[in-house]
Amino acid sequence: MQNTKERLLGSLIVFKLFILPPLWFPNHVLADEVPEVEQEEPVDGDIADPYDVFDPVPASLMRPMVTDRPTFVDSPHTVDAGHFQLETSLVDYEKDVTSGGTTETFLVNQMNLKMGLNLDADAQVIVQSYKSVRAPASTRGGFGDITLRLKFNLFGNDRGNFAGGLIPFLKVPVSSQVGNGMFEGGLYFPFEWKANEDWSFILMVGPEFMKNASDSRFHFELAGGAALSTRIATSFMPFVEYRCRYNGQTRVYTANVGGGLAYAIGANWHVDAGMDFGVNSNSSDTRFYFGTSFRI
């Protein structure tokens, strides 16, 4: 009888020590035995943006690299949060022949420095490292003005066939050699339609507020353009474009057509070259350029 009581008492102790606790505290035991595994959120416009300048998008989640150059029109897509992108026109030459003579404009390393701010915005600083203007009556050269821009993607940054953006900009007059000494600015609206993975069409239009050539007052100009591009064999990206401008002061309309080729050396490095030609007497005659873009 004593042995039976001892066996029952031992069984009760085992039950209390080893069987009841998991039943009372199942969540605690499971949490200890199965640790949580953190999973990175995908970059998607339908979720809260977890990334910013100080918490960059992981390399595995970055969007394909998209640049504003070499076309005149800009892309509505932004740089990934926390990442830096440089786009530069290493050499840019423009020639305009009129009855009054020939004017040549030469740019070296006109670069656009970009930083992704969050999921749908980036900040940009455009610097003219060197600009030379050779006109019939004078020749000027030196460091050019600086342009500050913000780009906001309004829709389609991550998915879909349509994307739209907003780009306010302000030119800061820092050049004493080749600038006009005045602040100028405007607002661009770029829109993109992707027919498929290879074909893309971008349309951009926007008002600009520019200094008059003859006095210190300002006038309205309307700038616009359209570009059609495709991708061949993954790395080759040819394009054609049309750009135009209407001057509200002089009532002059200028237009140029052109094209070129961009080549993707890698996922984060492109090189490009192109040219365009004036289509009316008010437009510049020829322009040639070569540049590169990369991101980190």
CATH code of 90's domain:
2.40.160.40
Q: Is residue 206 in some structural domain?
A: yes
- pLDDT in the model for residue 11: 52
Tell whether 201 and 100 lie within a shared domain.
yes
Q: Is residue 43 in some structural domain?
A: no
Q: Is residue 181 in some structural domain?
A: yes
Contact (CB, 8 A) for 119 and 157: yes
- pLDDT in the model for residue 292: 98
Tell whether 135 and 219 lie within a shared domain.
yes
Beta pairing class for 199-211 and 218-230: antiparallel
Q: Is residue 42 in some structural domain?
A: no
Q: Is residue 47 in some structural domain?
A: no
Q: What is the pTM of this model?
A: 0.81
Helix (H) or strand (E) holding 111: strand 101-118
Tell whether 130 and 210 lie within a shared domain.
yes
Tell whether 9 and 63 lie within a shared domain.
no
Number of domains present in the structure of the chain: 2
Tell whether 24 and 98 lie within a shared domain.
no
Q: How far apart are CA 256 and CA 275, in angstroms?
A: 10
Q: Is residue 50 in some structural domain?
A: no
Q: Is residue 227 in some structural domain?
A: yes
Q: How far apart are CA 17 and CA 11, in angstroms?
A: 10
Tell whether 125 and 173 lie within a shared domain.
yes
Residues contacting residue 292 through CB under 8 Å, at least 6 positions apart = 87, 88, 90, 269, 270, 271, 272
Tell whether 162 and 288 lie within a shared domain.
yes
Tell whether 126 and 194 lie within a shared domain.
yes
**Tokens coding 280:** 């009316």
Tell whether 188 and 271 lie within a shared domain.
yes
- pLDDT tens digit at each of 296 positions of the chain: 545 555 544 554 544 544 445 444 444 433 444 444 444 444 444 444 689 999 999 999 999 999 999 999 999 999 999 999 999 999 999 999 988 899 999 999 999 999 999 999 999 999 999 999 999 888 999 999 999 999 999 999 988 999 999 999 999 999 888 888 999 999 999 999 999 989 999 999 999 999 998 888 999 999 999 999 999 998 999 999 999 999 999 999 999 999 999 999 999 999 999 999 999 989 999 999 999 999 99
- The three-point CA angle 130-255-291 to 5° equals 35
Domain of 274 in residue numbering reads as: 59-295
Tell whether 27 and 63 lie within a shared domain.
no
Residue with tokens 């540049």, as numbered in its chain: 291
Tell whether 186 and 250 lie within a shared domain.
yes
- The three-point CA angle 130-132-136 to 5° equals 175
Instruction: Report phi then psi at 29, rounded to 5.
Output: -65, -45
Tell whether 12 and 159 lie within a shared domain.
no
Q: Is residue 263 in some structural domain?
A: yes
